Chains A and B, each alone.
Chain A
Amino acid sequence: MNEIPVTMTVNGEDRAATIEPRLTLADYLRSECGLTGTHLACEHGACGACTVLVDGAAQRSCLVFAVQAQGAEITTVEGLAEAPGEPTAVQRAFEDCYGLQCGFCTPGFVVSVTAFLRDNPEPDDREIREALSGNLCRCTGYGGIYAAVRQAAAELAEAQGGAS
């Protein structure tokens, strides 16, 4: 099969590879970059577990071919925080509010919520529910996740208020 050269930035690092055009961005990140935080649960764009930021926009990496990300800036769940293992406000909120049980869907939620709160720092309850509707969780019943978004929003708003 023809292979195509592709370059992109992943979590701030420049990456270059020669890959099959059919390789999805999700598989590229997992197998070529070793970034296994991006999870595949449905591979047809319905569950959101594989959500990453592509040039800042939350996208399902199972629906993007890696070659389509040529030149893009990709951020995965591992790249959200300043340092590896250090949680962001959103990640801490998921911990605090019991926004996860098995944790398999969690990276997708964390990335989606991170982008959502950046674009809409003061969401109302209806907007939070709509924002969460693109990701599926089978363990939590969404209650803890919902609470996590509210906590993260409040914390980010406070940080913003303090900074200005």
Chain B
Amino acid sequence: MTAGRYVGQSVARREHRPLVTGHGRYVDDVTVAGMAHAAFVRSDVARGTITAIDVEDAQAVPGVFAVYLAADLNTVCGPIHSTLMGPNAPMPPMRALAEGDVRFVGEPVAVVVAESRAVAEDAAEMVVVEVAALPAVVDPVAALTDTENLVHPEKGTNVAQAMPDTGGPDVDAAFAGAAQVVTGRFAQSRGTNVPMEPRGLVASWEPGTGEFTAHVSSQNPHEYHAHFARVLGIDHHRVRVLTDQVGGGFGQKVFVSRDETCVAVAAKLLGRPVKWIEDRRENLIAANQARNEIVDLEVAVDDDGAMVAMKARHVEDVGAYAINSHASASGSMSNFITGPYRIGHLGFSSTSAYTNTVGRAAYRGPWLMETTAREQMVDRVARAIGMDPLEFRRRNTVTAAEFPFSMPGGVPIDRVSLTEVLDQAAEMMDYDGFRVRQAAALSEGRHLGLGISAYIEPSGIAFGALATEQANIRIDAAGKVRIMMGSGDHGQNTATTMRQLVAEYLGCDIDDVTYSQHDTTATPHGSGTAGSRTAVIFGGAAIGASKRLREKVAEIAAHLLEASPDDIEIVGSEAFVAGTPSRSVGFAEIAAAAYLAPDRLPPGVEPGLEAVHRYRPPSLFTLSNSCHMCTVEVDAATGMVTFDRYVVSEDCGPMINPTVVEGQIVGGVVQGIGTALYENMAYDPDGNPLASTFLDYVLPGAAEMPEIEIGHIESPSASEGGFKGVGEGGTIGAIACVANAVNDAIAPLGAHIDRLPMGPSEVLAAIDSAGGA
């Protein structure tokens, strides 16, 4: 289906009204009677042994209820691990509070609970933590061979995970026979998700019933539910997790952090509700981060300018405590690093390093270093053989005639539009016209550049805990429709898109439908909004349940209208006999029969009007794809990069709601621009984070951003509805696109940058080292 009554339309997003008028309800807006407030004492040393902790003065502050240390909390806290990774995930021993030593600046050492946040913070400042500092491990490459300074002494190594080289004789032979071999090293800056709403929760344990309730800011409420049951040692069915509005997450709120874990345990220990709302400094230094990766690439090219083989060596920094596992992106990296190109041979290896920094998180496109490195490398190879980068990509891109093409990483490329997005982006950009403009500008001493980036995105990954989702749809006794899902929407407009699907496939008026994801005791188990899985997997579930419920509605309507179910059409919450619109019955009357007058139902039909469907996509990977092109101008005197244009050609299959799709693309692109040009979570050699405010951690702002032009190609996936995920692709494509544009602009100066971000000082340094402008 490409455009239906609701599907494919940019229908109004009704959930926005409370948000624009100030009536949204985020976790900090939740107040519970008797609620206390938590503040953390965090380590200001990256690595060292705790020699003493003095809490006496803090405990004496009026209004302080408790000061908890590891001895209080860790001893009663159950196992900390994610449902996705399971209890046997390779990871360092997880602990709620630092115990015996500290391993990164920001690590929680104590939690103070008091009558107000202000009092809790006052008291937290009085806790004295004495630490005998040790040399910090900060550089991930150096960490791998450091046997003296260990982030986790019990591990005996700083190597968190090593994925051995997948290369072999075929790869070596391809390189030996190559006309040319080009090498490159690419580094990405450490960045962090920065949801505008920081993390937070209100945790309540009822001593009377033994039940635990938490209001959370989460992308994945059922994961929080399971986690709290585990760490608190409470039966799963006595836990309840509630989410209302969630102010962004971008991966940071998929799994429960140790800070949230501490607050939940504190609430149980104290026997009264505890609220913790993270402040921005905590979010910047203590919430998980991402992106600090280095890739060495070698590409073998034949005489015709075809890339025949690739070798990739990947090093990633997973910090001290990566979220819930070693959190390596190496698996997805190895699958997708050859991207849309006809590269037949791949040798890939990856090593993860523990460092004394905050741990690695999922962050929008967690594996995207494959595109960041590859697409910069493709430009480098094109330049090395003297070919235009667009022409070089066209020659190397897998064509539809070759589908299914098996990537050397093992994933088949199928149902994508790799050449089409290249062509559409080039046309939208007026590629040839730009090259003329660029040459003219250069003759006037102005440096314009064009960047290209193409990728294939694995959306809706269908393995293990991520493989399925469920929709429960109920037509209530008044004929109104409620969808219940365990999604964890944090700004994606899932309420609107799921309402569109249900209205379309069930046949009701969209204004009759509401969407609930708020309460884990009422919604079916879900694995959250992450990995660009909502449209594909939740969407498939919504369609399946709608179809089931529609059959029952038609059966009851047929009975009431004395017609055959096959002749019933359902539109606008009204069922009628095809060709005879006057013979109709509305949802209200059908529901009244189903719930209140079972004698009116057809014989053998179960009373009630609810349907449940759990959906698993047919493919392990539902592939979407895209090509980004942007043009920039670099001021060689100041190093400033300004955008000229930014174009995206995207294939996500049929769009449920074009406005929502484009919103995801634009937002994603700007986050990628941030990684490319501005954001840098730097640490000094002693492991001190250098960006703890928005004055140091520079986010993209409205004044610098380009207007993003979007073109759509539509090739349906094999999933129900044909949808493909689009949540992460904008970010995945943007980073290399911008890097390539900057490098294209400064290439005439002999300059090149292969480390992000490309801020003004980095651009000037590159120009200076190349001999100046």
Residues of chain A whose beta carbon lies under 8 Å from any beta carbon of chain B: 20, 22, 30, 35-44, 46-47, 49, 76-78, 80-81, 84-87, 91-92, 94-95, 98, 100-107, 110, 129-130, 132-133, 135-146
Contacts and interface: CB of A to CB of B under 8 A. Distances in A.
B213 interface: no
B662 to A, nearest CB: 8
Interface in B17-33: 17-26, 28-29
Contact of B279 (A43, A80, A91, A101): A43
Contacts of A44: 280, 693-695
B25 A36 contact: yes
Nearest to A143: B666
Contacts of A36: 22, 25-26, 28-29
Contacts of B17: 85, 87, 95
Where chain B touches its partner, the secondary structure class is loop
A47 B698 CA distance: 11
A77 B702 CA distance: 21
A137 B196 CA distance: 7
B309 interface: no
A140 to B, nearest CB: 5
30 contacts: A22-B118, A36-B28, A37-B24, A39-B197, A41-B197, A47-B196, A78-B23, A80-B21, A84-B21, A86-B21, A95-B12, A98-B660, A98-B662, A100-B16, A100-B19, A101-B491, A102-B195, A103-B19, A103-B245, A104-B26, A138-B195, A138-B196, A138-B250, A138-B671, A139-B248, A140-B670, A141-B666, A141-B669, A142-B670, A143-B705
Contacts of A102: 195-197, 245-248, 490-491
Contacts of A37: 21-24
A148 to B, nearest CB: 10
A42 B692 CA distance: 10
B440 to A, nearest CB: 25
User: Which one of B660, B663, B707 has the greatest number of beta carbons of chain A within 10 Å?
Assistant: B663
Contacts of B670: 140-142
Nearest first, the 6 A-B pairs at minimum CB distance are A37-B22, A104-B247, A102-B491, A103-B19, A141-B670, A77-B22
B23 A85 contact: yes
A133 B666 contact: no
B703 interface: yes
Contacts of A40: 28
Contacts of A46: 693-695
Contacts of A38: 22
Nearest to B245: A103
Given A105-B196, A129-B703, A138-B195, A47 B694 contact: yes
Kindly name the residue among A20, A37, A135 whose own CB sees the greatest number of chain B CB atoms within 10 A: A37
A91 B693 CA distance: 29
Contacts of A85: 17-18, 21, 23
Nearest to A42: B280
Contact of B663 (A22, A92, A98, A135): A98
Contacts of A43: 279-280
A140 B248 contact: no
B575 to A, nearest CB: 32
Contacts of A140: 663, 666-667, 670
B705 A42 contact: no
B705 A106 contact: no
Contacts of A144: 663, 666
Nearest to A99: B20
A104 B703 contact: no
B194 interface: yes
Nearest to B709: A143
A40 B279 CA distance: 9
B16 A95 contact: yes
Contact of B280 (A41, A95, A103, A130): A41
Given A102-B248, A104-B197, A140-B667, A81 B21 contact: yes
Nearest to A41: B196
B22 A104 contact: no
A102 B702 CA distance: 17
Contacts of B669: 141
Contacts of B280: 41-44, 47
| Highest count of chain A CB atoms <10 Å: which of B17, B118, B248, B250 | B248
Contact of B21 (A77, A132, A136, A146): A77
Nearest to B493: A101
Given A47-B694, A77-B22, A95-B16, A138 B248 contact: yes
Contacts of B663: 98, 101, 139-140, 144
B306 interface: no
A133 B701 contact: yes
Interface string B666-678: 1111110000000
Given A95-B12, A136-B701, A142-B701, 18 more contacts: A39-B196, A47-B196, A49-B196, A78-B21, A78-B22, A85-B18, A91-B21, A100-B20, A101-B492, A102-B246, A102-B491, A103-B20, A106-B20, A138-B196, A139-B196, A141-B708, A143-B707, A146-B702
Nearest to B693: A44
A96 to B, nearest CB: 8
B44 to A, nearest CB: 19
B180 interface: no
A129 B250 contact: no
A102 B529 CA distance: 13
Contact of A106 (B19, B195, B493): B19
B707 A103 contact: no
Interface in B644-673: 659-660, 662-663, 666-671
Contacts of B198: 41
A66 to B, nearest CB: 13
B20 A94 contact: yes
Contacts of B279: 43
Interface core residue of B16, B28, B660 (most chain A CB under 10 Å): B16
A86 B667 CA distance: 28
A37 B12 CA distance: 22
A139 B491 contact: yes
A46 B284 CA distance: 14
Contact of A87 (B20, B28, B246, B703): B20
B50 interface: no
Q: Most B CB atoms within 10 A — which of A22, A37, A98? A: A98
B699 interface: yes
B236 to A, nearest CB: 29
B705 A142 contact: yes
B207 to A, nearest CB: 27
A53 to B, nearest CB: 13
A132 B703 CA distance: 7
A3 to B, nearest CB: 13
A98 B659 contact: yes
